[in-house]
Amino acid sequence: MTSAGDTADVVILGAGPAGLLLGNLLQRDGIDCVVLERGTREHIQTRARAGFLAARTVQILRRHGLADGLNRDGRTHHTCEFRSDEGRFRLDYGGLGRGERHTVYPQQALVSDLLAHYLDAGGRIRFGTEALAVQGAEGDRPSVTVRAADGSPGRWRARYVAGCDGRHGAARRSIPADAVRRHHLDHGVTWLGLLANAPPSLDAVGYAVHGRGFAGHMARTPTVTRYYLQCARDTRAEDWPDDRIWDELSLRLRTDAYGPLRTGPVGQRGVVHLESDVLEPLRHGSLFLAGDAASLISPSAAKGANLAVLEAELLAEALIDDLTHGDSAGLDAYSARCLTHIWRAQEFSHWMIGLLHGRPGTDGEARFHDSLRRSRITALRDSRAQQDWFAEHYVGV
């Protein structure tokens, strides 16, 4: 339960990668902060999300001494495989462009690491505390109204509020509509996201382009694999039993030509509508946005968690400069700096969606887009310049 007297220099909403990294960096520099999280500790540590960390993300975590877990258990990854009616080819993107690689490390493991480090350093976090609204952000003493798990109300007062609580969180809801510009795009594509308790079937990320829709294969751990299946917009996850899932994956990944999948129970399944959403600016007075609260990006290019880590580091540096040295230049530049990276990531994500999916329309329009897609895949297979461009944007943020 909170009281009317709860205060912190920085109140952080949300205990995802952005919120916990921000809390760690502020705590390290002696900034009084608190993280408010509506879920339980068990929930955030078992919530399966992204698993591909970009080279820059790994550098940030190592630079701040927060990479023990990924140094121990993360696995570097540098190859993807494309399958289509024209055959298959592999792209060693780690040997192209800037020579950067991904590190495969499940997001729930990263969250667990960041949380443990934060708590070990004496950081404050309040689980089961739902932020309802941010008030007074136009001034220099904002407050956050909250509701505890038992329903009791409370309020936190701060100098700054960091909204890391997602697209539908209190931070976004609290910004007046006329104070921001929202850029939203529904890509018209729906995926069935799956976590299978089965070892990876490929030593690469697999992208299958098929007449029945896209299928994707992404390793998570030696015993767990993430799969995606493009499906109809009105799909219900419960309509896909395990047998149907494996039959469809086998068909689209063309196992008759390239070998069988290693199967197992599907432990988690959910429907994902591919959307992009960006807010500009990422600041409203003393309220700042980071992570999914700042921008939503489709999972087609594995950028969400990486953008969150980048934004959290930029925001931490800016808040530390302001609160310890009275230098507000970093806070003034925060939104513009982040949006440069966000829009670059959005552009590549949009390109990937076009590469992997057909487009609805008349027969002539559908054939046109299918031909464009085949041309993109051919260029990616045959053009070194295109491969270098892909490698730089695929791993970069």
Q: Give me the active site residues, please.
A: 77, 207, 299, 303, 394
Read off the tokens for 295.
């921008």
Task: Work out the burial of residue 196: count CB atoms within 10 Å of its CB; fewer than 13 is exposed, 13-18 middle, 19 or more buried.
Answer: buried
Read off the tokens for 369.
């887009």
- Whether 98 and 396 have beta carbons less than 8 Å apart is answered as yes
Residue pointed to by tokens 């990876």: 200
* β-strands 143-148, 215-221 pairing: unpaired
Tell me whether the omega of the peptide bond preceding residue 281 falls within 30 degrees of 0, making it cis. yes
- Whether 314 and 337 have beta carbons less than 8 Å apart is answered as yes
Residue 74 phi/psi, 5° resolution?
-70, 150
Rounded-to-10 torsion of CA 24, 28, 32, 37: 10
Q: What angle do CA 181, 184, 189 make, to 5 degrees?
A: 175
Give residues with Cβ within 8 angstroms of 115, minimum separation 6.
15, 20, 41, 44, 45, 125
Which residues are registered as beta bridge partners of 103? 53, 76
